[in-house]
Amino acid sequence: MDASADLLINALISGLLLGGFYAAVSVGVAISFGMLDIVNIAHPAVILLGSYVAFIGNTVFGIDPILATVITLPVFYLLGMVAYQVYYVAFERRDDQSLRGLSFFFGILFIAEVGLILSFGVDYRSVQAWYVSGNLNLGIIELPWRLLVPFLLGMAMVVGLQLYLSRTFIGRAIQAVAQDQQALRLMAANPTKIKRIAFGLSFATAALGGAALIIIQPVEPSIGREYIGRVFAICVLGGLGSFPGMMIAAVTLGIVENLTATFFGPSWAPAVAFGVLLVTLAVRPSGILGR
């Protein structure tokens, strides 16, 4: 096979897998931004927190990195609920989301980053597990487990959340909460409580996304920032709050980034998300599946 065609196919496949991982880190923003209309730019900081939990669980207690974050999911869920409560009391109730609410999350992002630097230093950290190295051989193509496992994790999260949101009472209430608070009150559901639950969920997904992240690549405290552009580009491109749109956007970004890295060099990859974001905002702010 021609060398560049080979490169292309590999870039496409690993881009697809990367897209599944991007869905895992973005699904929380699809909930908080897309459904609750809360612009939590500190979301990547929570993802990194998840990565470091996986790191500690793995290196200190010797357990599987994904299992380590699964065990701590209730903590992340509670953390999210607390974060929403603070946000609600300090900003949403005062109708001051756009200036001070945004700055609040920005401050949290920064504090988390510096806190991680103070605790773990600026060295790259990674985890040990059977799927961190090695490939799954499928005839001509080889799929690295390191990408396949996060991909599967991302898929499972998106499908699971989609079922939860469409099949349960609270799930449906979460989808309605941004659009119609009045209707929600008529259904005897307290919008603040619904949002608190949803925000807790968003934090929990970030923790799982963090486990996926540290499986894919070693992490250090400042890489969270690279994911701000990515997760928001994906959510905006996907049309806010739409999971199918988000999946398409995540895979698109994964493939475009991978092609960029393959043909122009990996140092250009971070700019791709921004390009996608700006073009989307300028040309089609309602996203690919938007009307």
Asked if 183 touches another protein (CB under 8 A), the answer is no
Q: CA-CA distance, 70 to 200, in Å (whole number)? A: 14
Number of residues that bind another protein (CB under 8 A): 46
Q: Are 161 and 202 in contact (CB under 8 A)?
A: no
Q: Are 116 and 48 in contact (CB under 8 A)?
A: yes
Nearest distance from residue 108's CB to another protein, in Å?
6
Q: Could you give phi then psi for residue 155, rounded to 5 degrees?
A: -60, -45
Asked if 281 touches another protein (CB under 8 A), the answer is yes
CB proximity list for 74: less than 8 A, separation 6 or greater: none
Asked if 31 touches another protein (CB under 8 A), the answer is no
Q: Are 79 and 70 in contact (CB under 8 A)?
A: no
Nearest distance from residue 260's CB to another protein, in Å?
11
Asked if 39 touches another protein (CB under 8 A), the answer is yes
Per-residue CA distances from 191 to 56, 178, 239 (Å):
36, 9, 23
Q: Which of 6, 61, 78, 86 binds another protein (CB under 8 A)?
A: 86
How is residue 156 written in tokens?
């499972």
Asked if 85 touches another protein (CB under 8 A), the answer is no
Nearest distance from residue 175's CB to another protein, in Å?
18
Q: Which of 141, 156, 187, 278 binds another protein (CB under 8 A)?
A: 278
- Strand-pair category, 135-138 with 141-144: antiparallel
Interface with another protein by CB under 8 A: which residues? 39, 41, 86, 90-91, 94, 96, 98-104, 106-108, 110-111, 113-115, 117-118, 222, 225-226, 228-229, 232-233, 236, 265, 267-268, 270-271, 273-275, 277-278, 281-282, 285, 291
